[in-house]
Structure 1
Amino acid sequence: MYAWSRNSALYRLSRRMMTERELADAIGRKARQKFEDISEAQVRALSVAAVEFGRTMLALDDVAYAEIRARSSARGGKSRRAIGRKLIEKGVDRETVKQALADTDDFNAALVFARKRAFGPFRKVELDEKRQAKEFSAFARNGFSFEIGKRILGMEREEAEELLADRPFA
């Protein structure tokens, strides 16, 4: 069973980055399916062995995972709040999340979000009251503050494109 645990961990970690909790949950879930009459103590032991193997192979690092996900999510237009919530859901501890989010900029991420959704300066239709409410709501649902949304929705297209071109994570 331990050999299966190591091989399964190696397979999963070779396909994508995972947090320790994600790997432990996946190994536990698969062990319950694969082995009949397996006890919870055995499932936990297999999960712990898989996580230790992942650490030993240097393929499992929650700090690196959080930093990489925070940078790529911010480049993709996600807010600090949304990124933090997702990392915590994945099992990364709050202090690591806080450190990973230290360098992210909500304003740049909101600009990317606005460009993706054709909001504010990237709008292709006329602005009316309904459209403005829709855009503010989308910013709020995605974790951006009212001030950031108001600032971006009031920008001119040239200014927004210039800021996107000058952003450090382009």
Structure 2
Amino acid sequence: MFLIDSLSDASRSRPDEGTDRPADADAPAPPTPRMLAWARNSAIYRLERQMLTEKQLFDAICRKAKEKFDAVTETQARACAEFAVGFAHANRALDDTAYAGIATRSGVRSGRSRRAIAQRLAIKGIDRETALAALEDADDLYAAVVLARKRAFGPFRRAATDDRRVAREMAAFARGGFGFDLARKVLAMDIGDAGEILASRRI
């Protein structure tokens, strides 16, 4: 993300050649000290409550700055967000790699496929390389069995099955990002095999 090189640069001026008008007279005004203090405190408040990605923090600070300060410019709002991100990095409060790892493990435990988790990470602003590294240990078979247990699919069915029910279950797996072959494998399992898969992996 961006870092503020110097918040005081915009306040400096030098005569423009052939005119008395300062060269940076039309330069965007930098954020005020009050804005920056608010950005810092807002970052602390948000990061104490939950783990965020760099993009999430930037977007939140930029959006709230526009709501909090009257007549704040887009440049000032973004500068506040950049300042907040820089402050968080300096205090080791932002770590997209750790976020991706935690989100991936949580996703698998919740029954989400690698594809679904990857989409969520992208939305949160995690770059592709970081996401791929986090997804290396994601187990789609385990996640699919978790989903089957949550939805009472396949080996976890509580009622007799028929072709329509199987089709609905296959469609649910497809919507979740699971492949056809994997979905068919899980639906064909008996409860013992499914239980062994759930017991074999504790993440």
Q: TM-score normalised to the size of structure 1?
A: 0.97
In the alignment, structure 1 residue 78 sits paired with structure 2 residue 112: yes
After the TM superposition, which residues 12-31 of structure 1 pair with which residues of structure 2 at under 5 Å, given as runs? 12-31=46-65
- 1:50 alignment counterpart: 84
Name the counterpart of 1:141.
175
Where structure 2 has 5 or more consecutive residues not aligned to the other structure, the ranges are: 1-34
AA in 1 matched with 2:133: Q
Per-residue CA shift, 1:41-68, capped at 9, x if unaligned? 1111100000011111111111110011
Q: Which has the larger radius of gyration?
A: 2
The partner residue of 1:9 within 43, 62, 66 is 43
Matched length: 169
Cα distance in 2 between the residues matched to 1:121 and 1:99 = 32
Q: Residues 46-125 of structure 1: matches in 2 within 5 Å? A: 46-125=80-159
2:174 is paired with a residue whose SS is: helix
Report the CA distance between 1:168 and its aligned residue. Answer: 3.7
Which residue identity does 2:145 align to in structure 1? L
- For 1:25 and 1:168, the matched residues in 2 are separated by 34
Q: Which has the higher contact order (CA 8 A, sep 6+)?
A: 1
**Any stretches of 5+ residues in structure 1 without a counterpart?**
none
- Partners of 1:167 and 1:12 lie apart in 2 by 33
Counting aligned pairs with the same residue, the percent is: 53
> Would you identify which runs of 4 or more consecutive aligned residues in structure 1 move more than 4 Å?
none
